Amino acid sequence: MGYANKSAGDTNVELYPDPWVPGTRAKKQLGPISSEIFVDDCEPAHAFDWIKAQFEVLERLRDKARVLCANAVVSLEITLDPFACTDDGERSGVRLSAQGTAVTLELVA
């Protein structure tokens, strides 16, 4: 059942789009976490760049979960804002965001 049977100290964090993971229960709910990446319009967009950006945003989310000693993120949602701007409004681009709830899952008998 994924990495739900590993302890919170392990380095891998499993990602689940659903709030419920069959065969497990949430031992601890550690709260909502999120990460995002902004890709400037001036940068050339290639398929590899998007794959790299998606990997990066998910790895950043996993890093935040690890800091909380979570072994999973549930209710994962990934969004793309194609009309994003920087806070100062000087640059436009695309923002890729990931959010979910960090939890410690354990297997149930």
Query: Structural domains in the chain?
Result: 14-107 (3.30.110.70)
What integer pLDDT is reported at residue 64 of this predicted model? 97
What integer pLDDT is reported at residue 7 of this predicted model? 45
* Two structure tokens written together for 70: 């979570």
What integer pLDDT is reported at residue 3 of this predicted model? 42
What integer pLDDT is reported at residue 48 of this predicted model? 61
**93: enclosing H helix or E strand:** strand 92-107
* pLDDT averaged over 10-residue windows placed end to end, the chain, 109 residues: 45 93 95 91 64 92 97 96 80 88 94
- Distances from the Cα of 103 to the Cα of 12, 16, 24, 109, angstroms: 13, 11, 11, 19
